[in-house]
Amino acid sequence: MNKVKIGVVGLGRLGHQHADNIVNHVRNAQLSAVCSVHEDELDRAKKEWGLDQCYTDYNEMLAQAGLDAVAIVSPSNLHCEQVISALEKGLHVFCEKPLGISKAECWVVEKAVAAQPKSVFMLGFMRRYDPSYTYAKKKIESGYIGRPILFRGYSVDPASAIDGAIKYAANSAGQFLDMAIHDIDLARWFLQSEPKSIYAIGGCYAHQEFTKYEDGDNVSALMQFENESMAFLLAGRTAPHGYNIETEIIGTLGQIRIGSVPQKNLVELFDAAGIRKECTYSFSERFHEAFVNEVQEFVDCILEDRKPSVSAHDGTRATIIAELATQSFKNNELIKID
């Protein structure tokens, strides 16, 4: 196989970006087919990439498009069934986070992945493929900060994206599963341990619309891990200045911060308001390189017959922790994890 033929399901906010990356940025990959339930997105795919294999039915795409692999970028509640259908057809599968919206779903997917050892399966925890996070991981592994004792992760969406978030709230499975899951994954990755207790709080401070889904517009969680390290997470929807992703790992000998002042680039603007640096405005802008790198790794794994480091099990663990955080938030309880 010279080029991996990929079909993308879901052409929304992120699916369009993944498809475009496959066309323009990922080596040894070919965008062979796309699937969306929205005809206008398929028309755009035909025009932009000259594609003729455009489907409104996922199973038809799997049966007819002659694919080597699929990239699943559909709503989170469809991931489980779509991963399993593709694996059963012997395809390689890249799936956006979360792996599933409940631990029961994740266990089924993990079993299906294990049953197809020849297929490459990869989950889209793209921050692990962002150059700054990769660099920080290497520094920590080299012992630079000593023993890691605290992970702090802030993921706050721009206030300007609130209408979309409210529309998506019914299907998001809550802010811990939808947003904080990236920080949950990073905390496990950097601290190299699993949480043993978790306490989550939050509320609807600016947007009461989320109460009907028993969700918040800003939520946070505090965790202690089996190796005694700690993690603090904040997931929010009300950043006035842009897309605020900020990470810190504190160790016994030093600390590392990534994006402590999230900024678009190195430009400083001088005007009547003072001197400013602009912030990134969206996940697609901040993590463009990471989205390309992760799909490149997926393709390289297929061609080199090896497995990516982000496994289905990482997806299961992150979903379980997000579920427990949600339970703690809803019931105002400290949860001890077995």
Ligand X SMILES: NC(=O)c1ccc[n+]([C@@H]2O[C@H](COP(=O)([O-])OP(=O)(O)OC[C@H]3O[C@@H](n4cnc5c(N)ncnc54)[C@H](O)[C@@H]3O)[C@@H](O)[C@H]2O)c1
Chain residues binding ligand X by CB under 6 A are 9-15, 35-38, 41, 58, 73-76, 78, 96-97, 124, 126, 283
Question: What is the nearest approach in angstroms of ligand X to the Cβ of residue 334?
Answer: 28
Question: Could you write out the DSSP letters of every residue in 22-75?
Answer: HHHT-TTEEEEEEE-S-HHHHHHHHHHH----EES-HHHHHHHS--SEEEE-S-
Cβ proximity to ligand X: between 94 and 225 the closer is 94
CA atoms within 13 Å, Cβ hemisphere of 44: 15
Task: Let me know: does 237 contact 243? Beta carbons within 8 Å.
Answer: no
Question: What is the nearest approach in angstroms of ligand X to the Cβ of residue 111?
Answer: 21
Cβ proximity to ligand X: between 12 and 203 the closer is 12
Question: What is the nearest approach in angstroms of ligand X to the Cβ of residue 98?
Answer: 6
Q: Give burial (CB, 10 Å; 0-12/13-18/19+) of 50.
A: exposed
Question: What is the nearest approach in angstroms of ligand X to the Cβ of residue 82?
Answer: 8
Question: What is the nearest approach in angstroms of ligand X to the Cβ of residue 234?
Answer: 16
SS3 238: strand
Residue given tokens 């289905």 in the structure block: 312
Per the structure block, which two tokens stand in for 304? 């080199």
Cβ proximity to ligand X: between 145 and 234 the closer is 234
Cβ proximity to ligand X: between 9 and 198 the closer is 9
Position with the least CB separation from ligand X:
12
Cβ proximity to ligand X: between 225 and 298 the closer is 298
